[in-house]
Amino acid sequence: MVPELELDDDEDDSGSDCETDSEDDRRRGYRRPVPQGGALRVIYNGFYFRCLVCPGKMASRWNSMEDIKNHTVGKANSSSLREENKKWQRHRVLARNEGWMPA
């Protein structure tokens, strides 16, 4: 016979230990998932524009809105990227969210 272990209410694992700290994740350099749907937008940090579909690459930084628009629409219309369906589709969503392509 196995004795039962009784837990007090304060010992209950409510999952609070599992919450993530996004600031800590950023400092440690952990990768973040690419936003999807309506949350996928071009980011401007005061110095340059960033494409969230191409994170961590120098090629994901542009000095003007026109440059990032050309990148995004070019990737969205690229026939060679259709092989890599995920990136192609995300560039299309980004271009539509910014109003650069018809829905």
Helices (H), 13-100: 22-28, 65-76, 85-97
Find the length of the chain.
103
CB 93 within 8 A of CB 37: yes
pLDDT value at residue 21 = 62
Give mean pLDDT in consecutive 10-residue pieces for the chain, a chain of 103 residues: 50 49 64 66 86 73 89 83 70 87 79
d(CA 22, CA 102): 34
pTM: 0.57
